[in-house]
Structure 1
Amino acid sequence: MGKLSVSAALVCLALFSGANAEEKLSMSDADKAMYAEMLENNPADMDVAEGEQLFGNMTSLEAYSKMLGVKEKDLAGYIAGFPRYVDGAKKVITLSQSIQMAAADAGKTVPKLESKEMLKMTAYVKSLANGLKTNIDVKANKQMKEMMALGQEVFETRRGGRGLSCNSCHSPDIIGQRLRMQPLPDLGVNKAAGTWPAYRMTKSETTALDKRFQQCMDNALLAKIPLGSKEMVALEVYVTNKTKGNEIQIPGLKR
């Protein structure tokens, strides 16, 4: 893994504007109190409940399981392995894309990946695996191996005028420094894959992992990788693998 270029490193330092800053730059006492309260009463719980209703109006868990080729009793464990190769799709797909397949299989209007309906259904379906550990298998087959390699490439490739990449803010030598007053997290320790979709306090909304990727790209002035594209799915594969073995807790809660 190559080091940042001098120009990119200077940009990062400018962006951090206070790396190793005082603790006062962290969450305020009021924010901490709000965070503690939301842990008990996560606003995204309503999205999960609405997602259950939306999903039920579209199809059943029995039909969904059958479409995926698994028994309903094994569905939760199967869900914990997304993104994964699905025979019916003949490619590696995300959980949201599997819901699109279920809609098509049921003869219903296929929800767009960007829609609020899809977000809510994805949160509900993933919540079925709560308490289990993420069990993505990036060595399961040729397709998963290829997507893992592509995901790493997307994660580490520097783009845009600033020459930044995902790795610019999440490499081991950067983790813990501050960007916009927030410590840059270790995506593995931070359980990135197991806690999204999550409610973002700063946005006052529930957000999916791939949409969070796009928000980061926006902040870094990078062209957004389209949802559902091979590159975006691969990026989710790579990041999910970083959190393999962490407990799934949906909906998550993020600052």
Structure 2
Amino acid sequence: MRSVTLCALALSAVLCGALQAEEKLSMSEADKAMYAELLESNPAEMDVAEGEQLFGELIGTATYAKMLGVKEKDLPKYLSGFPRYLDPAKKVVTIAQSIQMAALAAGKPVPKLESKEMVKMSAYVKSLANGQKTSIDVKANKHMEQMHKLGQQVFEERRGGRGLSCNSCHSADIVGSRLRMQPLPDLGAKETAAAGTWPAYRMTQSQMVTLDKRMQQCMKNALLAEIPLGSREMVALEVYVTNKTKGNAISIPSVKR
């Protein structure tokens, strides 16, 4: 307990000290210029277009909507509510997992969650909800309530030798401080819109990244064991983070540093 407390205090000291850094340290002029250029011509748009083609060859929106039990024209609004409980799966699933379900039901090869093809397809499918507001309902049923509760536990649980958690960098009293010269964002803020803006193109990786993969990267940077993609804990974490963004507009793909 003492080591965890000392780690937390050390982290706070580092963050508070970093807060004194100049704003210019967060992004160089060259990076700012690149960011502005990417906003005008996002490379991930090509990935989304490819995802549309892959999705059409694998399933198609009509078959997908039928599996979800909704009309094709209602897909945008319905998709804005993911992750959500799907009765055929008997559990709460992400968009990527729902694509796997549709592929399985259609007798098609089921793409792996970590595959490049799945990243592109899930980005395309979520882009169908662009302009919609994130409308996840964590009180819709007991399954969603349980997953939201579990997601909060995962978000706040201190793990690893440093005793860190997601909350260590994203709690209300830490947001706005700096870590590695980067401002720590409020995951629910309109400007961040975490759940509504991933998958996104990451400048530092020159590729499109999904929300769950981004959370894994955070865990790796904090020297924490990575929670597996598609696991109950990872889906629950996405439910919790998505609920923070509820009401903010969906815009896929976005650009992130």
Q: TM-score normalized by structure 2?
A: 0.95
* Kept in 2: contact 1:15–1:180 (CA 8 A): no
Partner Cα distance (2:205, 2:79) in 1: 27
1:215 aligns with 2:240: no
Question: Could you tell me which residue of structure 1 aligns to residue 91 of structure 2?
Answer: 91
Question: Could you tell me which residue of structure 2 aligns to residue 228 of structure 1?
Answer: 230
Q: Deviations over 1:129-179 (max 9, x none)?
A: 000100000000000000000000000000000000000000011001111
1:28 aligns with 2:28: yes
Partner Cα distance (2:7, 2:179) in 1: 17
Partner Cα distance (1:245, 1:20) in 2: 33
* Kept in 2: contact 1:80–1:136 (CA 8 A): yes
After superposition, the Cα gap between the structure-2 partners of 1:16 and 1:252, relative to the gap in structure 1 and judged at 3 Å, is farther
1:163 aligns with 2:163: yes
Corresponding residue pairs, total? 252
Amino acid of the structure 2 residue aligned with 1:108: K
Which of 224, 241, 244 is the equivalent residue of 2:243?
Answer: 241
Question: Could you tell me which residue of structure 1 aligns to residue 70 of structure 2?
Answer: 70
Q: Deviations over 1:57-78 (max 9, x none)?
A: 1012111001001111111111
- State the SS of the aligned residue for 1:199: strand
Question: Could you tell me which residue of structure 1 aligns to residue 194 of structure 2?
Answer: 192
Amino acid of the structure 2 residue aligned with 1:79: L
Identity of aligned residues (%): 73
Of the structure 1 ranges 22-31 and 107-116, higher mean CA displacement relative to structure 2 is found in: 22-31
Which of 228, 241, 254 is the equivalent residue of 1:252?
Answer: 254
After superposition, the Cα gap between the structure-2 partners of 1:210 and 1:16, relative to the gap in structure 1 and judged at 3 Å, is farther
Partner Cα distance (2:24, 2:129) in 1: 37
Q: Deviations over 1:107-133 (max 9, x none)?
A: 111000000000000000000000010
- State the SS of the aligned residue for 1:5: helix
Partner Cα distance (2:171, 2:37) in 1: 32
Amino acid of the structure 1 residue aligned with 2:205: K
* Shift in Å, 1:32: 1.0
Q: Deviations over 1:36-95 (max 9, x none)?
A: 111110010011000000001101211100100111111111100000001111100000
Question: Could you tell me which residue of structure 1 aligns to residue 107 of structure 2?
Answer: 107
- Consecutive aligned runs of 4 or more in structure 1 exceeding 6 Å deviation: none
Partner Cα distance (1:206, 1:223) in 2: 23
Partner Cα distance (2:164, 2:16) in 1: 13
* Kept in 1: contact 2:15–2:177 (CA 8 A): no
Q: Deviations over 1:222-255 (max 9, x none)?
A: 0000000000000000000000000000001101
